[in-house]
Structure formats: structure tokens, C-alpha cells
């Protein structure tokens, strides 16, 4: 029986994360992916950082403050 090791999470330093944050905003057209709002934007980890989510572009999406809060309330 093979035991798989843990995959290392990508955790960026503050400057690199700031640059990635900007890239994600630009990629998503500075709009909330849920409602299309262009105000009070935040970058959300689709797979939360705590249980193995990483600071990678494919794990991040743009949400407005309201949609982000609603998403977290649903968990």
C-alpha cells in the first residue's frame, strides 16, 4: 500500500501576493465573478488556505464584499 505525501502549499510573501492579487483582478476584468459588481472587490481563495488551499492564480477569484461575505456565511 502506497501512502501519498502531502502536497506542499504555495504561500507567497507579501509583495508577491500583492502582485498576484492585482493579476487576478485584471484577469477577472475588475468585476465580481458572482454578481458583476465593480465595487468593494476582494480576492477569494476558492479552496481555503487552512485546509490545503494555495496562493496560486487558479485558486483565486474576484468577489465583491457582499458576495464574499455571503459565500463565507454559507459554510
What is residue 3's predicted lDDT score, i.e. its pLDDT? 43
pLDDT at 47: 78
pLDDT value at residue 50: 62
Q: Where are the alpha helices (DSSP H) in 1-75?
A: 14-27, 65-73
Q: Which triple of cell numbers denotes residue 46?
A: 476558492
pLDDT at position 9 is 55
Question: What confidence score (pLDDT) does residue 22 get?
Answer: 96
The whole-number pLDDT of residue 45 equals 87
- Residue where the block lists cell 479552496: 47
C-alpha cell at 47: 479552496
Low pLDDT (below 70) residues in the chain:
1-10, 49-53, 75
Model pLDDT, residue 41: 98
Amino acid at each position: 500500500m502506497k501512502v501519498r505525501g502531502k502536497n506542499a502549499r504555495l504561500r507567497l510573501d507579501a509583495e508577491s501576493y500583492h502582485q498576484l492579487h492585482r493579476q487576478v483582478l485584471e484577469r477577472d476584468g475588475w468585476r465580481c465573478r458572482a454578481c458583476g459588481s465593480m465595487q468593494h472587490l476582494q480576492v477569494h481563495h476558492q479552496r481555503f488556505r487552512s485546509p490545503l488551499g494555495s496562493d496560486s492564480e487558479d485558486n483565486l477569484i474576484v468577489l465583491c464584499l457582499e458576495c464574499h461575505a455571503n459565500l463565507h456565511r454559507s459554510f
